[in-house]
Amino acid sequence: MEDIPLDLKLKIMSLMNDGKGISVDSRINTLDLLTTLDSSRLDASLVSKEEIEKLNAEGFIIKDGFLGKDICEQIRRECEGFLRSGVLQPGGMGKGETQWNQSRIRGDVIAWLRPNEVESEEKKPSTGIQSLGKNSLTSSSILSLLNRLDDLKSNLNSSISAFNCTRVSIQLACYPSDDKGRTYTRHFDSFPGGPNRRLTAIYYVNPEWKEADGGQLRMYLENDKGFRDIDPIGDRLVIFVSSRMEHEVMPSFSERYAITHWLY
């Protein structure tokens, strides 16, 4: 960030905090998850007791084969259509009147999802999800993902009495092809003065991903234990505690798609 003007750098640092000042109430801690967990209510196809324990211990889990290869490929085609149609717009930082954009810090283009604009006979997810725009979401494949993520929320609510999530937001993001590599600098998803996100669940829509494409999710391990790079392969779901796990998107050289589900 050495070539970034001082005023911009200060603005970035005010948003990309180091975890200090995040209240205990905004975290999901080990005591809350485990002492109020009724594992008999867990749907292991969504999340297992072992995964809940790992989420507490390490702050993140990885689930492969979340929907199946065929549905993932269908979602990918739809995401590509959204990009070509201009529905996706540059992602911002901050919120409201203080929101701003800087592609060197955050290189994705995004849209927000809202189920009441989906035309389908299938079950719709809970209300409160944002918008991709009229007539954009008409596919059963994206609905399958939204429904599955909604099932995950409901199962956590019924299995962990202290969880009680009543609000979610879902974002479709693409890092367009770029020979120089598109990134998202190191940050937390929950921070002082920002959204009280508790869990982040990222579903990757890159069925043909290969190492040369880049775009790994770098997860910084707690207690200064280094980091782990997670490949953004298709049909992979990564779940992490929003206020605990600092992370960044490494340079992405090929079109990279993800749908992120935040639970508040």
Residue 97 has pLDDT above 80, yes or no: no
Question: Which amino acid, one-letter code, is at 156?
Answer: L
d(CA 155, CA 22): 26
Residue 140 has pLDDT above 80, yes or no: no
> Which tokens belong to 174?
């693409």
223-250 residue pLDDT tens:
999 999 999 999 999 999 999 999 999 9
Residue-wise burial string across 97-127, b where 16 or more C-beta atoms lie within 10 A, e elsewhere: eeeeebeebbbbbbbebbbeebeeeeeebee
Q: Say which DSSP state 39 is in.
A: G
**pLDDT over 70 percentage in the chain:** 72
Q: Residue 51: what pLDDT?
A: 97
CB 244 within 8 A of CB 66: no
Mean pLDDT of 67-81: 96
- Confidence class of residue 3 from pLDDT cuts 50, 70 and 90? low
d(CA 139, CA 193): 36
Helices 140-159 and 69-85 pack at an angle, to 10 degrees, of: 120
| Cα dihedral 106/215/199/226 (nearest 10) | -100
Q: Say which DSSP state 106 is in.
A: B
d(CA 97, CA 221): 33
Residue 200 has pLDDT above 90, yes or no: yes
The pTM of this model reads: 0.81
- Confidence class of residue 22 from pLDDT cuts 50, 70 and 90? very low
Residue 45 has pLDDT above 80, yes or no: yes
What is the H or E stretch that residue 59 is in? Answer: none
Q: Put the strands of the sheet holding 60-64 in their side by side order.
A: 60-64, 236-241, 199-204, 256-263, 168-175, 109-112, 89-90
Based on DSSP, count helices (H) and strands (E) in the chain, helices before strands.
5, 11
Average pLDDT, the chain: 81
Closest CA to 154 of 146, 207, 5, 181: 146
